[in-house]
Structure 1
């Protein structure tokens, strides 16, 4: 007979039990009855009791349990005793009213777990009695009422007895099973008990000879994800914890997942809930548009990122299949089809000029713009590589080039129209662009074009919408300003490339269309391991979509459109900011295709660069740094790195480098030029992994600098020595434009690369002025790790402590 089961094994639990078993005993909460929240106390956010918060309800229970010290024969409390401690004075009527309201809140979020309901049915068909043994402050009548409300009358009628710890004054681990056996008048070996608590439901009954079976609700990683999703939901929506609990309607389905390899687990447990929420919303939006217009809209999922959303939607809502098409339409193709006149070309060039990209008009970018403007390969070298943006723009806007672009765009546009018609889009249709988002830039560009060409009424429905200007177009996001503020939306956009690459196909970028509307593609550059991992994750997501609602014998009343949105937003924000270890392992070999008609590929995560950045700059390295998936790089650094990044970005906090500086050590420094020398002390502040950073002012670079390391270290590692322009350094988060320094070591030996030993107390590192003069005010940036402090430095540190 089994001692441990997971969710999908429960309904077959009786297959291998012996004939001696006469009673099936079940734990109640998290076994038969589940809650649609992460923690039981989260239900208390929904209490409709005046002035009562979740925290006050928890404190009242703590006070009631503390009062048990006066009653040696009892270690459990009732719900009425809890509410008696909620108020300074309360009569029985008020307490009873509060109890009723808590039961209503519980009933809103509770549901019956399907495998346990099936187990009850099988037990009754074999002639077994079914009992509930529960650690609960609800007396038997109230618990039976809740079970009936959550599981239905049919299941409640099959439960012969209910034993509640509060009525016996003892928990399961504290002796409840003894009176249970006495009341039943049965030997322990005739009872099979199932529950989710290892101590209460397995070890405690086993001591009495009852065969306990431990139900493992979740594997460790799923449990960690769900907990962190609740954290992410709280940070993302600052009002959530005041108004309602953080809902997790996917808990039961995750518990029933059979495969545990990292990629399948990720696709099922993370991508599945995201696209469950998105798919439900798209179906609702489609219905709303049909109700308003009297005509079913065409749901056009924009490839490449729309591939997985389309497959997930059709898996969940096959009845919409005749409305769905996957359209090859991207920023590149939308722009290419939009150049109807000189003004359109100017708008494109000006948008890029104001994009705030450091390399907005580098020669590489100019070549990409030329490809976007439909110049042929042989024409590009004559146009790209001009020294200034102004020169490049003037060249593009010459009459001959404008004429060429407009002519080619007209042909491109005809191919796009043919492509839409080939996929069932007809003149005058209502169409909905469905995509991940995030600004609806394709819709911005192509909507007026297609309206003129095909009289299309175009809406945009996106997973995440964060508009950068007021467009007055029909756009909505499952996650948008209706539910979250702009700082939250901006934060979610930071690492969204992670989701993009998980949603694509292996096909290359579309470069154009044939006259018949067939897409003409570039070769696919993302192959091998990344494609395999992506396909496996997508298959797992679709497996989740195929079984929506499995685990629910009854549907929680809190499952609605808002619950679906919260679930998707929490799963997405947790992935983007609080990744778990095995997720990061999936992405280690991923690259991001920028999909602008170029072959530019960017590596997803580079943990070594992140580790180096933290050593050299500390946590300030993470503020607004441009990386594809910075939280993935920082995951190995722990929550102390991830949570400040998440909260800082989510709330748009004005944090600066000196906010992260504390616990400094003093280092003696000599500054000397041709006229004089000066001895000062500089504070070196800890960064990460035991490293310190010292910033030493050196004027415009006229000083020789001697750092008297022998006075503070016997051994040290030198990580970085360079000059920085003060103004640029304080504006950047990690330097790209440092000026080389050339240190000279006196009375110091290098015993390994970067590892130095100070052989005398007067050992120092001399840094001459930089060989390049910029005329700007400079500082010397010195990052080091004191591996062995000198005895005097140790004394100074103790004094400071």
Structure 2
């Protein structure tokens, strides 16, 4: 018979032992759960004392009890006597009451255990609680009533606390209780979450015992990483701010019940990670809509912007099935296309598109393919953007843009009239993932002018790039997080977008009778099937999130949900789990501009190349869709470094990552002469070094005298690139690189990238590449020492003629 039980199996826990007379339960993390990662996290919400002071006081109290009274168990009164030795008894009593009230606010009854208690009472069993706690019987009973409700407290016949007896369960408390009850020990079943204190101690006392296994190993790690991420995102409470728990995890209960039964990894990702983020967002949206209804004269229409608003809307409908929401297709493309009222509007658009392609610009300005082809044919190779702007601003073309844009705006408004039918006094509440509210920025003036409506934007994540003064709020926004945190969360948001989107192309126009016109969907069917499974899991979580939670005061704590959502989202973005990456491995990201552009969500080979070539500095400026996924396999330290850099906006330079160097001797040949020099190679990642060697205008061949230093080494890569590209903060692995073609003298290749140097004279000769332009070039060689040469002497002079021949 197993001695472990999962939460989902608690309903049958009594069936294995006929003749039971007593159901004994642990309290914390069995009957009462907290909405935090660890018990001590609740202390973070105390304010005064702070969490560290509270922990230190308990440690001192236990030490005092051991020395003076030969017991390890203490009361909460003894703890506060150590914490505030000079306070009055009334002041300490108030502090104790404050802690108990804080515990009650963050504790809840675990529904599967409560159902088990009800079954036990229905079968005539006595129900008792045995807890290792610094609370006494009355205090613990009151906490259960305040947290889970009086009906739950009424199910309990007796409560036994270690602080009352001076011994813990591991020290024999369960046996003492069994003796007091006066029943056969094999008529008692004890269940608790601590294997040592509940299972082992219960069996030692002679009673039946079960270990309530809350989570599997992978889940424990994921929750632990969430807590670690939260500690970096929420590093502390500033003076004057309301205190809150540092690692909120209200989703623990639902995950404990459901996750063991979810076999599909994609559905599991949706349930355990995407669901908790969007459930908190849904509760906040419901509250925001209710607030708007109290201030607006007309109706409030909740409009989820497609495509990224697809899953948030499904979650919203699952949470509030009686609410009315609409799926509205307004993309950045259509919102922008409807805004060209004047020539100044077109000019402002062009000013912000200097780096965009001619096709994207002209399509956005509503030129048709034949017109685009004509305009592109006349563009020069140099100064193409300026020439394009001049061509666009020709009077006949400008008139065409303005006329088409006004017609486009009329079609967009017709689409809204057909879909929503707003009155002039109504408010359109635009709901989206975020992150700048660009659609709202563009379309709000159009809607106000044409429909006479007010517009309010509500976003999961809001990080505005300017201050437009519009009605915008973010569930995760500047009211709660600094700019660095918001920027960090936006950096890898593509993964969330792809999991939330609808399986349809982006809207590019509207028909005269009020229907949307979409571009073709560029995403493959397999990705859509995976996404559907993720979305099923998220919707299921939304429906079940509060089912295992029994509270005396069921009001939703939006602040706790927000902190939990940020922790879950940041953990997925920066510390993804292997099973999550397996789900996302084949995902592609389609850019929502109506052009069908598709890019891989992540590519681990690019990250490994970047790290070995530039080290951790590579992460500083790397522009990747989901960089932490690419860093998987490079160690937790690398990903934590990335998180810290992004979260705190660390202004680090390349030199800050260098703590040792290698002086590498090289030969420099120009076809006539050979000179010697040394190059400083700097560490990158995983034991690799990079040697950057200037070659001017592709004039010099370079001989790397590895034999002087090493018997064995790895050469990862040797590439030529412009000097300014190598020195740039904005890294693009592989960009503007030309692979070197080396020859070996006294070196042999023993395997992929692995080389043996026969003697100290061995070297690798690399001729320069063909000259492409006037930019200064350099050779970047990435290598890793394996076996150093014992004695480093002056190498034999060698044949200058041989070196010259190799150089040629």
Supply the distance in 2 between the matched residues of 1:789 and 1:88 (Cα, whole angstroms): 62
Please state if 1:329 is matched with 2:325: no
| Residue 653 of structure 1: how far off its partner (Å) | 0.9
1:642 to 619, 639, 654: 639
Q: How does 1:697-708 map to 2 (within 5 A)?
A: 697-698=694-695, 703-708=700-705
| Residue 702 of structure 1: how far off its partner (Å) | 5.1
| Residue 159 of structure 1: how far off its partner (Å) | 1.6
Mapped contact 1:299–1:432 kept (Cα < 8 A): yes
Please state if 1:367 is matched with 2:359: yes
Please state if 1:533 is matched with 2:530: yes
Mapped contact 1:744–1:766 kept (Cα < 8 A): yes
- What is residue 429 of structure 2 aligned with on the other side? 432
- What is residue 615 of structure 1 aligned with on the other side? 612
Supply the distance in 2 between the matched residues of 1:512 and 1:61 (Cα, whole angstroms): 66
- What is residue 547 of structure 1 aligned with on the other side? 544
- What is residue 130 of structure 2 aligned with on the other side? 133
Mapped contact 2:32–2:110 kept (Cα < 8 A): yes
Please state if 1:572 is matched with 2:569: yes
| Residue 89 of structure 1: how far off its partner (Å) | 4.7
Please state if 1:406 is matched with 2:409: no
CA displacement 1:747-791 (0-9 Å, x = unmatched): 011233432211112211233455427555554321012233333
Alpha-carbon distance change, 156 to 408 in structure 1, aligned in 2, over 3 angstroms: same
- What is residue 29 of structure 1 aligned with on the other side? 28
- What is residue 731 of structure 2 aligned with on the other side? 733
CA displacement 1:666-688 (0-9 Å, x = unmatched): 43334466898665544433322
- What is residue 473 of structure 1 aligned with on the other side? 470
- What is residue 346 of structure 1 aligned with on the other side? 347
- What is residue 417 of structure 2 aligned with on the other side? 421
Q: How does 1:86-105 map to 2 (within 5 A)?
A: 86-87=83-84, 89=86, 92-105=89-102
- What is residue 8 of structure 2 aligned with on the other side? 8
SS in 1 for 2:459: strand
Supply the distance in 1 between the matched residues of 2:30 and 2:2 (Cα, whole angstroms): 17
| Residue 92 of structure 1: how far off its partner (Å) | 4.7
Mapped contact 1:254–1:269 kept (Cα < 8 A): yes
CA displacement 1:589-610 (0-9 Å, x = unmatched): 1001102121210100111221
- What is residue 112 of structure 2 aligned with on the other side? 115
- What is residue 284 of structure 1 aligned with on the other side? 287
- What is residue 396 of structure 1 aligned with on the other side? 392
Mapped contact 1:73–1:169 kept (Cα < 8 A): no
SS in 1 for 2:95: helix
Mapped contact 1:333–1:512 kept (Cα < 8 A): yes
Supply the distance in 2 between the matched residues of 1:179 and 1:463 (Cα, whole angstroms): 53
Q: How does 1:595-674 map to 2 (within 5 A)?
A: 595-671=592-668
Supply the distance in 1 between the matched residues of 2:688 and 2:68 (Cα, whole angstroms): 56
Please state if 1:184 is matched with 2:181: yes
Please state if 1:269 is matched with 2:269: no
Supply the distance in 2 between the matched residues of 1:47 and 1:465 (Cα, whole angstroms): 29
Q: How does 1:291-302 map to 2 (within 5 A)?
A: 291-302=294-305
Alpha-carbon distance change, 427 to 72 in structure 1, aligned in 2, over 3 angstroms: closer
| Residue 461 of structure 1: how far off its partner (Å) | 1.0
Query: Please, which moves more after superposition, 81-90 or 261-270?
Result: 81-90
Query: Please, which moves more after superposition, 711-720 or 587-596?
Result: 711-720
Mapped contact 1:340–1:409 kept (Cα < 8 A): yes
Q: How does 1:144-293 map to 2 (within 5 A)?
A: 144-240=141-237, 243-246=243-246, 247-257=248-258, 258-293=261-296
Mapped contact 1:75–1:170 kept (Cα < 8 A): yes
SS in 2 for 1:765: strand
Supply the distance in 1 between the matched residues of 2:545 and 2:785 (Cα, whole angstroms): 56
Please state if 1:690 is matched with 2:687: yes
Name structure 2 gaps, 5 residues minimum.
Answer: 793-808
SS in 2 for 1:649: helix
Mapped contact 1:298–1:425 kept (Cα < 8 A): no
Supply the distance in 1 between the matched residues of 2:775 and 2:506 (Cα, whole angstroms): 45
Supply the distance in 1 between the matched residues of 2:121 and 2:361 (Cα, whole angstroms): 72
Alignment length (residue pairs): 780
| Residue 245 of structure 1: how far off its partner (Å) | 0.9
- What is residue 800 of structure 2 aligned with on the other side? none
Name structure 1 gaps, 5 residues minimum.
Answer: 354-359, 794-801
| Residue 88 of structure 1: how far off its partner (Å) | 5.5
TM-score, structure 2 normalization: 0.91
Query: Please, which moves more after superposition, 400-409 or 580-589?
Result: 400-409
- What is residue 17 of structure 2 aligned with on the other side? 18
CA displacement 1:634-691 (0-9 Å, x = unmatched): 1322321111111111221101112112243443334466898665544433322332
Supply the distance in 2 between the matched residues of 1:389 and 1:184 (Cα, whole angstroms): 88
Superposed structure 1 runs of 4+ greater than 6 Å apart: 674-677
Supply the distance in 1 between the matched residues of 2:256 and 2:708 (Cα, whole angstroms): 59
Query: Please, which moves more after superposition, 479-488 or 86-95?
Result: 86-95
SS in 1 for 2:458: strand
- What is residue 798 of structure 2 aligned with on the other side? none
SS in 2 for 1:138: coil
Mapped contact 2:690–2:781 kept (Cα < 8 A): yes
Supply the distance in 1 between the matched residues of 2:173 and 2:636 (Cα, whole angstroms): 40
